[in-house]
Amino acid sequence: MKKMLSGIKPTGRVTLGNYIGAIKPFVSYQDEYDMYIFIANLHSMTVYIEPKELRKNTKDLIALYIAAGLDPNKVTLFLQSDILEHAQLGWYLGCMVGMGDLARMTQYKDKLAKNESIGAGIFNYPSLMSADILMYDPDFVPVGEDQKQHVELARDVAEKFNRRYSDTFTIPQPLTAKVGGRIMDLQDPTKKMSKSDEAGKGCIYILDDIAVSKKKIMSAVTDSDGIIAFDRTNKPGISNLLEIYSILTDRTIQDIVNQYLGVGYGVFKKDLAEILGQELTTIQERYQEIIKGSYLDDVLLQGATVARNIARKKLAKVERKIGITIKK
């Protein structure tokens, strides 16, 4: 069985973009791959979040993964901070990554350009991310477009390490979705739907009031020609809604376009709002069950036990190879 690994940061409330671009695809992969999914809470420290909020985001994120259908008995689901080996391997790999390579990462450059004061964590981010990945030897790393560059850096580090110290790490491949990889803001379909857009009408939150979310679909910005067709450049609004519809129903965009030939946007949006409403209802009901009691603690303990076992062995191997320990 091929291995797959990915992580999501608990930096905010989970959005429809996260659900469609990350959580739902993970659920569909779980039968085909040996999967490792973790909450990237060490990475979330690169932005300040109130401790109380961080705790809630983290708990909600795990609960939502499971509510969305991820089976903790099939998938190793864990908290990054539970596995101390990530930070340690991150240090070793960080010593092998060039400053120049880190400085050309788009995420870092974007943050720098905003002129806010930023911590060193955002610069070193890809070293830690390389450790997260290489620790478990995954064949594939499903990520959004914006994270592809970091996975490519992890590949380069793995190759460099393997060349210098002999074969140690599997070279991972980033996996980006063709449909649903970039769900756009409902009010401004030229910009990505993002959890940093807290107040906006353009972002749907999975745990929000369902009537509010349906309204956001109904008032999504489209265009004035009234034709339901897929054209990301000229009709970004309706194309975005078509993508959402396609992922939620597991139908092709073409099939949906054919169904709505000659029908107005209003009818299409109403149907989509209904479909979304049903999906959110199911998730929220399951979420309410999961969030009670100590179930999540048990899941994380089980996940950490599996992950730690792999991480310990891998780190020991790395330390033997680099000569940092006196044991051979």
Residue 49 touches which of ligand AMP, ligand TRP, none (Cβ within 5-8 Å per kind): none
Contact 198, 249 (CB under 8 A): no
DSSP strand E in 96-233: where?
140-142, 173-175
Distance of CA 272 to the CA centre of its chain: 24
Determine whether 111 is an active site residue. yes
Determine whether 114 is an active site residue. no
Closest CA to 42 of 4, 6, 11, 77: 11
Stretch of 119-127, 188-196, 213-221, 245-253 lying at the interface with ligand AMP (CB under 6 A): 188-196
CB 91 → ligand AMP: shortest distance, Å? Answer: 23
Stretch of 110-118, 187-195, 261-269, 284-292 lying at the interface with ligand AMP (CB under 6 A): 187-195
CB 145 → ligand TRP: shortest distance, Å? Answer: 11
| Position 17 contacts ligand AMP (CB under 6 A) | yes
| Position 202 contacts ligand TRP (CB under 6 A) | no
Contact 60, 14 (CB under 8 A): yes
Does an H or E element contain 135, and which?
Answer: none
Determine whether 195 is an active site residue. yes
Our CB check for ligand TRP shows the closer of 7 and 202 to be: 7
| Position 111 contacts ligand AMP (CB under 6 A) | no
CB 152 → ligand TRP: shortest distance, Å? Answer: 12
Alpha-carbon dihedral sign for residues 172, 177, 183, 189: positive
In a 3-state reduction of DSSP, which class is residue 248? helix
Token pair recorded at residue 197: 């857009």
Token pair recorded at residue 183: 């769900």
| Position 181 contacts ligand AMP (CB under 6 A) | yes
d(CA 326, CA 71): 41
| Position 141 contacts ligand TRP (CB under 6 A) | yes
| Position 276 contacts ligand AMP (CB under 6 A) | no
Our CB check for ligand TRP shows the closer of 26 and 245 to be: 26
Number of residues that bind ligand TRP (CB under 6 A): 13
Contact 41, 58 (CB under 8 A): yes
Stretch of 5-13, 63-71, 183-191, 221-229 lying at the interface with ligand TRP (CB under 6 A): 5-13
Closest CA to 320 of 156, 112, 165: 165
d(CA 130, CA 72): 24
- In the set 129, 134, 247, 300, which binds ligand TRP (CB under 6 A)? 129
DSSP 142: E
d(CA 265, CA 278): 20
Stretch of 10-18, 124-132, 231-239, 251-259 lying at the interface with ligand AMP (CB under 6 A): 10-18
Read off φ and ψ for residue 143, nearest 5 degrees.
-145, 165
Our CB check for ligand TRP shows the closer of 58 and 239 to be: 58
d(CA 148, CA 127): 14
Q: Which residues bind ligand TRP (CB under 6 A)?
A: 5-9, 40, 43, 129, 132-133, 141, 143, 147
Write out the catalytic residue numbers: 111, 192, 195
The site for ligand AMP (CB under 6 A) is made up of 8-9, 11, 17-18, 20-22, 143-144, 147, 181-183, 192-193, 195
